[in-house]
Amino acid sequence: MLYSHEQTKSIHQEAFAFLLIEEADHVLTITLNRPKKKNALHPVMVNELAYAVHYAQHHDDIWLVVLQARGDVFCAGGDLKAFAGQTEEVSSTIPAPAGNILLGEIFNKLHKPSIAKVEGSVYAGGFLLLAGCTYVLANNDVTFGLPETRRGLFPFQVMASLMSVMPERQVLDWCIRGYNLQVERAHEWGLVTHVTIEENMEEDLQRLVDQILRNSPKAIRMGMEAYDHIRQRSTRQEHEYLLSMLRKTLGTQDAQEGIAAFREKRTPNWTNQ
């Protein structure tokens, strides 16, 4: 574990830079709180998210986790500038983890149900969060996009995580062609488990929460631990390899051209280098 039970006991006294944390009626609600940056995943945010999920795993009073986001975009993926070391100063008191955090594994090791409440569009690395959650409840008007190949990149870790919930050929095609996926197709392919409309979101979420909480939390926890043991598909070694591939791809000329073209709002000139 990246955080011990003792470390997470002070969660409600800690200062979070990019998350809001609320605990009530056996539910821990985690809110991505970086709306001006479209909730792009900053290294500090990833650290805070891992800490919050470890708290949920360690403490028996938490039976369920709800993940949501402020703003009109649920998550725009990774903040490439921040991960490249161009980080702004932030105020977060969350302690450093015991090892490297792999975003694709954060929810995999949570042996309690989790619901992603998706009211805004999701792109790129944001799917590591959705694929890790037990349920994905999405508004019928949100968009899911994988634009990496249009930037000279490839969604390596996202591909591995999506293959655990979606048909493999559809995942590969989506990664290659980089189109936007509508909610109905995402539901058909298994990425989304429940579709709703904006007016019914809170009611449908509460109905799902109530259905889960009326059952034995101990039995569910043991069942999810067994499920994690059975699948063991996205291993830590695989995610480490995929992260290394992303870093390698970021160093290519095509990646630099794709990112520059995106910023300059022009068509990229690929050199295959």
Query: DSSP secondary structure string, 188-252?
Result: HHTS-SEEE-GGGHHHHHHHHHHHHHTS-HHHHHHHHHHHHHHH--S-HHHHHHHHHHHHHHHTS
Residue linked to tokens 């990246």: 2
Residue 122 has pLDDT above 70, yes or no: yes
Distance CA 171, CA 242 (A): 16
**Mean pLDDT on 25-36:** 97
Percentage of the chain modeled with pLDDT above 70: 96
Q: What is the pLDDT of residue 244?
A: 83
Distance CA 118, CA 45 (A): 18
Candidates 178, 174, 186, 103; CA nearest to 138 is 186
- pLDDT level of residue 85 (50, 70, 90 thresholds): low
Domains of the chain, with CATH numbers? 5-198+221-264 (3.90.226.10)
CB atoms inside a 10 Å sphere around CB 61: 10
Cut 0.85: pTM above it: yes
CB atoms inside a 10 Å sphere around CB 60: 10
3-class secondary structure per residue, 81-133: HHHCCCCCCCCCCCCCCCCCCCHHHCCCCCCCCEEEEECCEEEHHHHHHHHHC
CB atoms inside a 10 Å sphere around CB 50: 22
- The pair phi, psi for residue 67, each rounded to 5°, is -110, 125
Q: Supply angle C-alpha 21, 23, 24, rounded to 5.
A: 150
pLDDT digits (tens, 9 = 90+) for 187-202: 999 999 999 999 999 9
Residue linked to tokens 């109530």: 210
Residue 221 has pLDDT above 80, yes or no: yes
Is residue 203 packed enough to be buried (19+ CB in 10 Å), middle (13-18) or exposed (0-12)? exposed
- pLDDT level of residue 86 (50, 70, 90 thresholds): low
Distance CA 253, CA 149 (A): 13
Which pair of structure tokens corresponds to residue 52?
Answer: 């919050």
Q: Supply angle C-alpha 221, 44, 96, rounded to 5.
A: 70
